[in-house]
Structure 1
Amino acid sequence: MTRRLRIGGVNVAVDGEPPANLLADAYARREHPLCLCCPEGVAMYIARFGARHILKRMPGTGLRHDVDCDSYEPPSGLSGLAAVEGEAIVENVEDGTTALKLGFSLSKIAGRAAPAANESREAGEARADGARLSLKATLHFLWDRAGFNRWRPAMAGRRNWAVLRKFLLDAAAVSTAKGRPLAHALYIPEMFDAKREDAIVRRRAELLSRAIQSAGNRRSLAILIGEVKEIAPSHIGARLVVKHAPRFPFMLAEDVERRMKKTFANELALWDANADSHLVAIATFGIGAAGVATVEAIALMTVSENWIPVETGYEAMLVERLTKHGAGFVKSLRYNLPAAQPMASLVLARADGGSTALYLVPADADAAFRERLAELIGESGMSAWVWDIANGPMPDLPF
């Protein structure tokens, strides 16, 4: 999508990121470029990270952008973001980085297994903890910052693993965790190419040699983000195979596999039921003395054909209906929010330039859920559309 900006007193139209020289010059002048998605314009800022300059939205200004603008952001209270922003996610406008407080470990003491209680918390299923990001919430953060919870018709056919990898790494590069760039601990497999396999394997080995190091009896861990190809039984647990790295399996001990299948039963069922869906895994892992990658903790996320996260079959149906209609929307992400806590499924951009929050009420929702939903709708100040699953088929959509 073409974006109109005012930089250095000149209006420019850009597709994607503005030219690096324009951003560098504006950064040197300490200028705040204007996004011209609306008549009065919205101030942006430029962050420098290493040799790169990145145009970023000013904190708290997401609602001031036009609903079709890349910088538009729905009210954080409609999703799980409100519970973690300012605590687990801390913005630094001075240098443009985002500091993350993680609720999972990036190291392991030799011989000590991860406690079973931590696995469910890392999955983001146990409670809404605003102080630290669960493993799945970290994936939601990167997915949000990379823009893959947003959809416009112009995006059709333009998303593949190479595109996802680029933008996820870009988001991680300007995010820090435990005092270092998140990208330093992150392994996202390159798009597989048999002709370049030797070079790909070499780059993976170099990355992991930096990410996974030992100091005494403590070993650092790396973070995997990959599309699941299969989860197959092994001699002592299970073998997780990700697409684009099919010859580099990740081993799951029996207890890790059991907790994964219990905690992420819905995600696995959705993936199994829809041939067009994708299953994305985020996991911490180490490399043992045998050179084998072993998963310590794992979380799963089901996404649509267009890589939009979905939690239920009803939500997948809604996303598919909107996509086929040519609608634009922003999908809400749960972060640490428990499933029993209502949130907007997504925010729809209407043809009249307005926006509507779309909510799904589970068939087994109790009176407390419905009461909290009514409060959320009232506090949002945004028009609402509600699909109460127990009442029958999907209502007409507010296009």
Structure 2
Amino acid sequence: MRLAGRVVPLAALRAHPGRFVSLFGKARAEVGHAECLCDPDRPQRLVIRCRAGRYHLAGWPEQGHLHATTCPWYRTDPALSGSASYPREAITSTDSGTAIRLAVPLRTRSAAAPPVSAGRADTPSHATRGTSRRALGLLALLHWLWEQARLSLWHPRAPRRTWGICHARLSRQAGECVVNRLPLASVLYVVPPYRPATGARHAADFEAFTARLSGEGSQRRRGLVLGEIRRVEPTPYGVRIGLAHLRAPLFASRALHERLRRSHRTAFAGHSNKHGGRQVVLCLVDRHPGNGYLVIEDAVVMLCSATYIPVESSYELRMSEALTAAGRAFLKPLRYDGTGVFPDFVLLDTTPHTYVEVWGIRGREDYEQRKRIKQAHYRGAGHPLLEWAVHDPLPDVLPRGRRPPATLPPG
């Protein structure tokens, strides 16, 4: 890093931030930014923020893809992200943070919450119906958080990714974002990893979160809960959903649960098949006025690999696990609410980057036509292509000159 002309190791800044307060202040006042030297030939600007007297660094808006892929400020190229389909008023990034317009209202008129069994199975969901490009749906918000937290990116030298790492990154990202003019950190509860030493504090934090969902005059505030599904159990009125690391259950109507299963077939099927997979869920919740339980009003479910890389099919799950086992650096482009055409994965350890396509359907003419169009587009753009037709064995995904690891999945 370079601050006011002085080069400082990032590890030192993180370990002893108090030692560099004057240097931060000088760089902010005289230069206006810091510089990242991940590529010394192309220094990239970094935002210097100050909160409660403490300085920290953030990526420069819309410049994250210019960093080295191993840099902590690297972000997905907008050309490989569904975020590019939104106008500026939907996602506004400045040097003070990001403001997001969410299609789902987080403030509603005070009224008795409907019973858990209410709702029609054919009612369109905020999360799955077509939303205006001027606002993000729940799935788009989940994808944005995942992308900005670098959880759609995998690098073999990174520490083993646990839910604790996901929680820390997602919480940090929420702290720099405003949604519908509300601080995202005040309306989003990212379930923390359970540890005996912090259990009591986390329980108090959750109680404080649910208390904020009470009515405020004529207004009620709804909240968002983000976690990993551990179990779904039937109740007389619907289902009880248990999240990993969270003692308190969430409740949903039977109609909503069936709608989620239809809208997110891949997430439910991929989780139950022999290759496993994780189910990450973002829930819009309200507090039941009678018993105080959290009732899910809407939700989206995302299938992820063991390392929390999002995937869109059980075949992509196998490919993701194979790339991880082979020690490849790669990212998963995320569509948000749109239907943009992206490769299934992008290998970041080749120059130019290699696109990965998993062809899951055979013999259907419209699918074969789209396949040919994508292949021609990649050739014309000069992108190397790694392909897997799922009825064939998995292709060799290893870098050149490297022996296959013993953990490479069969097939």
Flag whether TM exceeds 0.5 (same fold). yes
d(CA) in 1 for partners of 2:230, 2:374: 37
Q: SS of the counterpart of 1:319?
A: helix
Alignment of 1:41-80 (within 5 A): 41-48=42-49, 50-51=51-52, 52-80=54-82
The 8 Å contact of residues 32 and 43 in structure 1, kept in 2 or not, is answered as no
The 8 Å contact of residues 83 and 129 in structure 1, kept in 2 or not, is answered as no
The 8 Å contact of residues 173 and 181 in structure 1, kept in 2 or not, is answered as yes
Are 1:133 and 2:106 an aligned pair?
Answer: no
d(CA) in 1 for partners of 2:84, 2:180: 22
d(CA) in 1 for partners of 2:32, 2:106: 38
Are 1:6 and 2:6 an aligned pair?
Answer: no
Measured after TM superposition, the shift of residue 133 of structure 1 is 1.1
Q: State the match for 1:257 in structure 2.
A: 257
Residue identity opposite 2:7 in structure 1: N
The 8 Å contact of residues 189 and 244 in structure 1, kept in 2 or not, is answered as yes
Alignment of 1:223-234 (within 5 A): 223-234=224-235
Measured after TM superposition, the shift of residue 323 of structure 1 is 1.1
1:355 counterpart (353, 356, 360): 353
The 8 Å contact of residues 149 and 331 in structure 1, kept in 2 or not, is answered as yes
Deviations along 1:119-177, one digit per CA (max 9) or x if unpaired, are 44513xx44743211111111111111111111112242x2222211211110111111
Q: SS of the counterpart of 1:122?
A: coil
d(CA) in 1 for partners of 2:274, 2:24: 43
Q: State the match for 1:147 in structure 2.
A: 150
d(CA) in 2 for partners of 1:303, 1:166: 18
Q: SS of the counterpart of 1:153?
A: coil
Measured after TM superposition, the shift of residue 220 of structure 1 is 1.2
Whose radius of gyration is greater, 1 or 2?
2
Q: SS of the counterpart of 2:324?
A: helix
Are 1:221 and 2:217 an aligned pair?
Answer: no
Measured after TM superposition, the shift of residue 376 of structure 1 is 5.4
Residue identity opposite 2:286 in structure 1: G
Change (3 A) 1:153 1:61: same
Give % identity: 24
Measured after TM superposition, the shift of residue 8 of structure 1 is 2.1
d(CA) in 2 for partners of 1:180, 1:162: 25
Q: SS of the counterpart of 1:137?
A: helix
d(CA) in 2 for partners of 1:171, 1:102: 16
Q: State the match for 1:26 in structure 2.
A: 27
Are 1:167 and 2:169 an aligned pair?
Answer: yes
Measured after TM superposition, the shift of residue 251 of structure 1 is 0.4
Residue identity opposite 2:272 in structure 1: D
Alignment of 1:163-202 (within 5 A): 163-194=165-196, 196-202=198-204
The 8 Å contact of residues 355 and 382 in structure 1, kept in 2 or not, is answered as no
d(CA) in 1 for partners of 2:183, 2:353: 35
The 8 Å contact of residues 280 and 303 in structure 1, kept in 2 or not, is answered as yes
Q: SS of the counterpart of 1:187?
A: strand
Q: SS of the counterpart of 1:202?
A: helix
Deviations along 1:322-347, one digit per CA (max 9) or x if unpaired, are 11111111221121123xx4312222
Q: State the match for 1:122 in structure 2.
A: 127
Q: SS of the counterpart of 1:226?
A: strand
Q: SS of the counterpart of 2:157?
A: helix
> Which of 39-48 and 136-145 deviates more?
39-48
> Which of 107-116 and 39-48 deviates more?
107-116
d(CA) in 2 for partners of 1:390, 1:162: 33
Residue identity opposite 2:142 in structure 1: L
Are 1:206 and 2:208 an aligned pair?
Answer: yes
Change (3 A) 1:53 1:181: farther
Residue identity opposite 2:83 in structure 1: L
TM-score, length-scaled by structure 1: 0.86
Measured after TM superposition, the shift of residue 368 of structure 1 is 5.6
Coordinate RMSD, CA, aligned? 2.8
d(CA) in 1 for partners of 2:234, 2:177: 36
Change (3 A) 1:383 1:68: farther
Q: SS of the counterpart of 1:366?
A: helix
Change (3 A) 1:314 1:60: same
5+ long unaligned stretches in structure 1: none
Residue identity opposite 2:40 in structure 1: P
Q: State the match for 2:408 in structure 1.
A: none
Change (3 A) 1:116 1:230: same
